[in-house]
Structure 1
Amino acid sequence: MTRAASHARPLITGWGHSVFGKHPETSLAGLIAPVVRDALDRSGVDPSDIDEVYLGHFNSGLLPLGFPSSLVLEGEPELWGVPATRVENACASGSAAVHQGLRAIRSGDARHVLVVGAEKMTHAPAAQVGAALLGADGDVAGHPSTTGFAGRFAEVAEEYQHRHGPIEDDLARIAAKSHRNAVRNPYAQLRKDLGEEFCGTVSERNPTVAGILRRTDCSPVSDGAAALVLSAEPSGTAATEPVVVSGWGQANDFLPAAKRDPLAFAATELAITRALDRAGVTRAQLDLAEVHDCFTIAELILYELLGLTPRGEGRRAIREGWVTPDGVLPVNVSGGLKSKGHPVGATGVSQHVIAAMQLTGTAGEMQLPRAHTALVQNMGGLGIANYASVLTAGTG
């Protein structure tokens, strides 16, 4: 039976989240299973009522299995027979899966959708991981590289310095903030407050990785999984009040670097604007943002895309404390990709889960005193595949 398209905003009714980090004894299926069970249990939605499943998973040759969609059934056998689809869009694979679920809800084809993001990475040698990730770059995919994606973002950082002046100390401030925030996140991979001096000093423990980027400027290689349930209506037996997905936006940029200004991240900004416009929310009304800080230079530029400062002045946001938990717009209270970890397919789903925790007052030590409206921003490649979501507390 065909259902009528829903004009209500989709809801996040439940979620699950693994600890990100190194899990050498746990398979991809083993990462997925517990977060699936947790998401279903928290949502109060019976597995028999799930209409579709989307799994965000990048892989890019890191695992021999390139066909993981039915691994979700290992977490809940009662999902047998439910349509399940693997979604891939580089480092935005998780949010790509979330947005597919949103479309299913909005179209009326589904009342409840299970979305999972997962990645298994730490078993692979560094060279293999680097090559896999560079498969998301149109200019260097398949070519030898000693610096991987760090080299690509180092070029962005160097161009930023060329146009706007030195930023190494500011990147260290961003890294230190991320580590400080991650201490309060039980799901984070790097839970140690390293301080600005350590993050800003090249040393044996914090070597230069590429250009001006040090190890502390780079997100780690991670294993992990996260899951959430999207619903067309609230569940009477959910563990918390639902969170409304009030806006969403997606935008793609040209793949060849020659067709893009390296500092513009124009399609990233467009995705954010589309999500805010759909939600009827201004940047000034946001209470927090979970953004794609795969490297500290990415977060610095995102301060500008979020409207905190004009272009070229993003350093003001970190220098003046605007993006700390007690600042004007707390950014990456979770520690972000930089310190929470970046299991590629899981990242976008994780960002939505962390934001939902904040909006329901269930974020534990990470909890902000005021959290009503949140922005999630996730991108694949150098600002190529871009997704943004606006989440609000309550049932809409």
Structure 2
Amino acid sequence: MPGQKLPDGKPIRVALLGCGTVGAEVVRLLTDQAADLTARVGAPVELAGIAVRKPNKHREVPAELLTTDAAGLVASDVDVVVEVIGGIEPARTLLLDALRAGKSVVTANKALLAEHSGALFEAADASGADLYFEAAVAGAIPLLRPLRESLAGDRITRVMGIVNGTTNYILSGMDATGAGYGEALEEASRLGYAEADPTADVDGFDAASKAAILASLAFHTRVTAADVHREGIAAVTAADVAAAKGLGRTVKLLAICERVTSASGEESVSARVHPAMIPRSHPLAGVGGAFNAVFVEADAAGEMMFYGKGAGGAPTASAVLGDLVAVARNRVVAGRGPRESAYAALPVRPMGQTPTRYHISLDVADKPGVLAQVAAVFADHGVSIAAVRQEVRVADASLVVVTHAATDAALRSTVDKIAGLPVVREVVSVMRVEGEES
């Protein structure tokens, strides 16, 4: 139990919930590195059982370890519960039962943490158990523990990153080849970078869950996935990517979490996921393929970037094992890991009130006064124009406008008004711009 030193020689007994791609790698690492793990932890780490739905599908695992009774395994004489099944239920109930019983938990479940971290932390605090979840965001990249521990004495102002490998692979392919979204998605699916149903990735749900976790840790505030503004990449076109290239930028799906201070000095948290153009000189611009990277800004530490493999069985299992070693050490010496830090309890700023910048591409009539009419709409809505580019074609013209920072609501209202101008034939695309001075 937490608070009591483990008797010398007594093994740390581990229950594993799930044995899919990540779970199988966890089993392999526990077996292959058994001697090293014993030395690192100070006691043997023993796999007590593995809960699965269909035992006959896991012939690589000793049959005596497999069970379909996950609740019974959690209730048995184990010290740590490792959960890699995903989803909300039954994971939520199983982990709450484990924590309430004083058993430490290691989870890779981003969706559960983004929805119910408060309940999990409260259960952990009540019993004195540990709750670790490094693998829930950015796979093998050591990111959450630096936010949670290494930077605990600093004031983090911004976390911006690429936290979904599937969408990054698709957008990187569009940038490199000029392909459209559908073609790039098909290629990602063929190569195994996209799931058969890619909705959670391409519509931004996966990244939004991760953004909620990052914002919660960075700003000491409970943020759920419902608080995160979410847009996916399905509307990104080859023309958008080409336009970004022409301006020395590239398009990425970004998770952006910021501490925002109003003119009156009131602080709030902004959390959002959407595609954006970033300059090719930005550290995130060079992150290609299925890799992840997160850029962190803090008052004292300055700017940092964490980069690596953000998904996959082995990388994710590596993060799980790192957490397992930490909670097992705490069991051996009767220590405790970091608790939830939500003391700031900052309000979450709605997307409409969040400062951002727009890149707007318009098809307009080729006639005098068009630019003046468009500029007048921006002025009426209090939005300042940073740059304008106009190209004349045979029967019409293309007008590209990049704005200075304004609230998202003001920018959206501006675009809606422009779309109604008689001289504007079509608002071809609207994309946010990040990573530049406004």
> TM-score by structure 1 length?
0.30
Say which one has the larger Rg.
Answer: 2
> TM-score by structure 2 length?
0.28
Higher normalized contact order (CA 8 Å, seq sep 6+, divided by chain length)? 1
